[in-house]
Amino acid sequence: GSSLASVVAGSSKPTRTWDKPYFGDITQKNVTAIVGQKAMLSCHVKHPGNRT
């Protein structure tokens, strides 16, 4: 097998890992919030494809 592609069980269609959706890196690692209040968490999804 290749490190760049894998074959899905029961299918001959290769899937590339870089085409799959994933959460992008974020610069802020710690979030401070007040108990009982809303907190906004920001994230970026890379390669969402047709998933909305």
Alpha-carbon distance 48 to 32, whole Å? 28
> 24, 43 in Cβ contact below 8 A?
yes
Residue by residue, DSSP assigns 5-40 as EEEPTT---EEEGGGS-EEPP-S-------TTS---
Bridge partners, residue 15, by sequence: 6
pTM of the predicted model, to two decimals? 0.40
pLDDT tens, per residue, the chain with 52 residues: 443 344 444 444 555 666 788 888 776 778 889 999 998 888 888 888 887 6
Domain ranges of the chain: 21-52
Alpha-carbon distance 23 to 2, whole Å? 24
